[in-house]
Every structure is written in structure tokens, then in C-alpha cells.
Amino acid sequence: MKKIIIINGPNLNLLGQREDDIYGKDTLDEIKNKCEKKGKEQNLEVNFYQSNNEGEIINKIHEASSLYDGIIINPAAFTHSSIAILDSLRAINKPKIEIHLSNIYSREEYRKKSITSEGVNGLICGFGGNSYILGIEAIAKLIYKE
């Protein structure tokens, strides 16, 4: 069984408590449980990680290079500002998918640019918690070359 990691950025630990009109009502733990179930269906072991710290996210991406077969990342607010996360994604030669709960292109002007998406194979946004499920399906196809 192949292994993936889903890396979650700042404030995603507050899902279910903040702006549910934008981010939905599911908590991060509920999304994690759905992802683990979907991963099993796709023959993937899913590991979940969340940090509010940019450096910790970068270290986790570096670690993923040797421990995982693919990365799904929701960089959250770092999407729009972190060249450092972009550089770490570019350094990893594994399938990578960026996801977002909301449609970043229908939000405030400063959220419409994803710096980090330049370092991934593809971007999924706007489907709430289902963005994670779609990301798992997409990364499975990349990993198993379907």
C-alpha cells in the first residue's frame, strides 16, 4: 500500500468553529476520518498533519520526500504568501496536489493568487471538505499512473 500525507496549514485546526459559510461545518478531525476512509478505497495509507507554523510545514514537506509516495497540501493563508513553501514543494519529486475548501478565485483579490500552486501537479478548490476527497482520487491516479 502506498502512503500519502495531507498537510494542513494555519487556522485549519479551527474548522467547524469559524466562518462556516466559507469553510463549511466539518471539523478537521471529521475531514481526516473521511480522508482515511477514502484512502483505503484508493489503496492509500493517509497520514494527516496540521501546523500553524510555516517552518514546521516546510520541514514536513522535506520529510515527506523520503517517507511518502505523494503529498496533498492545503497551505491555507500561506498559499498567497509563502515562496518558502513553494520552494520546498518544487524540491520534492513526487506527486503533489494543492487543495482548498473555498474557491480562492471567487474570494478577495489577495486570495486569488496561489503562489504555492506553481509547485504542484494540480489544484482543487471550492468543494468544501470534498476537495480533500477529490485530491485523494487525483493523487491515487498520479501515484498508480492510471
Per the listing, cell 514543494 goes with: 89
Catalytic residue among 49, 62, 80, 100: 100
Q: What are phi and psi of 124, to 5 degrees?
A: -125, 125
Phi, psi of 5, deg, nearest 5? -125, 140
- Cα of 111 vs its chain's centroid, Å: 16
Closest CA to 17 of 34, 32, 29: 29
Contact by Cβ (8 Å): 39, 45? yes
Active site residue 62: no
52, amino acid identity: N
Decide: helix, strand or coil at residue 63.
Answer: helix
Q: Is 100 assigned a catalytic role?
A: yes
List active site positions: 23, 100
